[in-house]
């Protein structure tokens, strides 16, 4: 039964993975736990090792060392066809010489499922991805989105314990991609299979994941729920990769934080000493007019550089006294047009003490 996957979803415990291509180390002592039924995303720029890790999970690339346990069973030395892991490939990898039905029936055929049951399960899988009645279509008669769905149906029809997805939406156009993100998310909720998803698109990762592992240069920089990653990044890389950020250098002395000669108030505990960077998200900064009292906000003086009007919002690039540029974004309310900052105008940028996040300077 397709809907029984949730009950058999298994956790993955990955530890000590080492992978070198020649003398180049791609993954270094990598460890990762995925809970049963969790949707975990490996997010990182190209070359961060996320695809290599996925290939090691699927068994197409052999690691130099390490352990992968699925529900307690060690699979690192198991050949790919015995792993019982479903995978959705970036370019779909549908079999061009088979029609949709035979593509989806392929894993069942390998498992010697009877013809009647195969027909029933393929029918249900087609239903699940909303392709009912397209079983006889040739692969080259399908649109990109339909191919994506066939690939998805093929990867879940044999009820794998784990599903891997390698940037499955990157070949689709923007609106279809956003639609498929929601659909994939709902499908995961219905089937509940443990899913490892690879993408370099942070917005996609935030939309879909239970947890995100941000990868950089063969290591996991930070792994947490999307809202935690966004609100409290631990490193400059994570702050820069998830969401837009400007960085403002600050100095920590005697338990307080200083930007030039201004003391920065922050709710979170301040580091005791050293140079740090304050993460300034465009939507966390706001303009403070002269008469207004700053209240809880920290105020940083700047000059307006460039203002870009975007209909629902505007983005203002402000230049700090040290020449550094930071971005500020705000929604356009009814009175906003008259109050749009003008280039060259001096402004005060406010950031609430609650929103101040510091990361170590490189």
Partner 1 sequence: MSMRSASLQDDVGATLNADALRADARRESFGLLALLSPGLVLVLAVIIVPIGWLFWLSLFDEAGQMSAANYARFFEQASYIKTFVTTFKVAFTVTGACVVLGYPLAYMLSQLPRRAASICLIFVILPFWTSVLVRTYAWLVILQRKGLVNTWLMDLGVISQPLPLANNFAGVVIGMTHIMLPFLVLPLYASMKSIDTDCLRAGMNLGASPAATFRQIFLPLSLPGLASGVVIVFVLCLGFFVTPALMGGGKVIMWAMRMEQTTSLYSNWGAGAALGVVLLGVTLALLGLFQWLLGARATGVWSQR
Which residues contact partner 1 (rule: CB under 8 A)? Answer: 58-60, 79-87, 89-91, 93-99, 102, 106-107, 110-111, 138, 154-155, 158
| Token pair recorded at residue 29 | 């002592």
* Shortest Cβ 26–partner 1 spacing (Å): 18
Q: Give the other-Cβ count within 10 Å of 40's Cβ.
A: 21
Give me the phi and psi of 40, to 5 degrees please: -110, 135
Cβ distance to partner 1 smaller for residue 93 or 217: 93
* Shortest Cβ 107–partner 1 spacing (Å): 4
* CB contact burial 169-186 (16+ within 10 A = b; e otherwise): beebeeebbeebbebbbe
Cβ distance to partner 1 smaller for residue 54 or 302: 54
Cβ distance to partner 1 smaller for residue 138 or 339: 138
| DSSP string computed for 280-320 | E-TTTEEEE-SSS--TTEEEEEEEEEEEEE-SSEEEEEEEE
Contact residues for 105 (Cβ-Cβ < 8 A; gap 6+): 118, 122, 157
Cβ distance to partner 1 smaller for residue 109 or 190: 109
Residue of 2, 43, 9 lying closest to 242 (CA atoms):
43
* Shortest Cβ 73–partner 1 spacing (Å): 17
281, 324 in Cβ contact below 8 A? no
Cβ distance to partner 1 smaller for residue 55 or 280: 55
């Amino acid at each position: 039964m397709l809907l029984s996957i949730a009950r058999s979803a298994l956790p993955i415990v990955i530890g000590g993975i080492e992978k070198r291509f020649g003398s180049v180390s791609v993954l270094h002592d990598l460890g990762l736990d995925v809970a049963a039924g969790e949707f975990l995303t490996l997010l990182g720029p190209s070359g961060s090792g996320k695809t290599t890790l996925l290939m090691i999970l699927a068994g197409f690339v052999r690691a130099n060392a390490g352990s992968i346990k699925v529900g307690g069973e060690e699979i690192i030395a198991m050949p790919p066809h015995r792993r019982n892991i479903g995978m959705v490939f970036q370019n779909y990898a549908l079999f061009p010489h088979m029609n949709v039905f035979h593509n989806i029936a392929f894993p069942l055929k390998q498992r010697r499922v009877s013809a009647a049951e195969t027909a029933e399960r393929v029918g249900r899988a087609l239903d699940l991805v909303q392709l009912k009645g397209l079983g006889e279509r040739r692969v080259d008669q399908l649109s990109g989105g339909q191919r994506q769905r066939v690939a998805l149906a093929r990867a879940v029809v044999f009820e794998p314990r784990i599903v891997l997805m390698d940037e499955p939406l990157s070949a689709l156009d923007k609106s279809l991609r956003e639609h498929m993100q929601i659909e994939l998310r709902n499908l995961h909720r219905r089937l509940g299979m443990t899913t490892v998803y690879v993408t370099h698109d942070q917005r996609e990762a935030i939309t879909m994941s239970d947890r995100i592992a941000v990868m950089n240069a063969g290591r996991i920089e930070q792994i947490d729920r999307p809202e935690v990653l966004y609100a409290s990044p631990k490193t400059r890389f994570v702050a820069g990769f998830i969401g837009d950020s400007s960085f403002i250098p600050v100095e920590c002395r005697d338990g307080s934080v200083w930007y030039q000669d201004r003391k920065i108030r922050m709710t979170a505990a301040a580091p005791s000493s050293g140079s740090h960077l304050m993460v300034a998200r465009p939507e966390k900064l706001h303009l403070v007019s002269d008469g207004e009292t700053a209240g809880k906000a920290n105020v940083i003086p700047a000059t307006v550089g460039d203002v870009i009007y975007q209909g629902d919002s505007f983005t203002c690039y402000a230049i700090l006294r040290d020449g550094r540029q930071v971005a500020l974004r705000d929604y356009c309310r009814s009175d906003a047009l008259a109050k749009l900052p003008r280039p060259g105008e001096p402004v005060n940028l406010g950031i609430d003490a609650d929103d101040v996040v510091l990361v170590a300077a490189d």
